[in-house]
Amino acid sequence: MDTGRTLGSEPDWFPDVQWTADQAVRSPQPAQSRELTEGGPSADSGRGSSEAKMPTYVCWTRAGQLSPDQRQRIAKCITEIHHDVALAPRYFVQVIFNEWEPHSHYIGGAEPEDTYIWIRADIRSGRTQEQKRQLLTRIVDEVCAISDVSRENVRIYLSELPGTNIMEFGQIAPQPGEEDAWFAKLPDDLQARLRTRA
């Protein structure tokens, strides 16, 4: 992907993002980058896993726009909505917050005066149109309520990937609906850890 593209110009405006178990790195470097998962920040750090988790929701805002409490509440609501609508275990859901510095975000060639939130969601393919509609509308509703950003300025892009293109917890990710059989094949100690975040 061309990382020099103007942010907000197309649905794939996000710069390349590489995730490890305890950090998020993008090019160019963000002003601030945090990872929030159901188990808390860097829940899997030190456990021998370096794969990006799915689904991954990356939220972009102006520097200083969201407080730590707002980030935590947004991460929690996205986790619960994805669990409820997409029927995926909570331990699959990862939420990352990135901020852009002044003079690094443009719409129509000009810096926006209003406050925006962009969310890019990489999710496994196989959900129905109704499930995707619910993900979009419920997340927008909750993010608006938490952030006080107007509905027209919260933008979400769903990007679907087949489970066979994803590696999680040392295994190829299951297709939607096959999580139980996939889970049963995991090592016992990993199953025990994941049950606390299911």
Alpha helices by DSSP H, listed for the chain, are 68-86, 129-147, 179-184, 188-195
CA distances from 159 to 57, 112, 193 (A): 10, 25, 28
Average confidence score pLDDT of the chain: 77
Confidence of residue 47 (pLDDT cuts 50, 70, 90): very low
Per-residue pLDDT, 13:
37
pLDDT above 70: residue 34: no
CA gap 79, 61 in Å, rounded:
19
CATH architecture of 17-195: 2-Layer Sandwich (3.30)
Average pLDDT score over residue span 178-194? 87
**Residue 92 DSSP class:** G
- Give the number of other Cβ atoms within 10 Å of residue 198's Cβ: 14
Average pLDDT score over residue span 86-115? 91
Average pLDDT score over residue span 3-23? 37
Average pLDDT score over residue span 16-30? 36
**Residue 104 DSSP class:** S
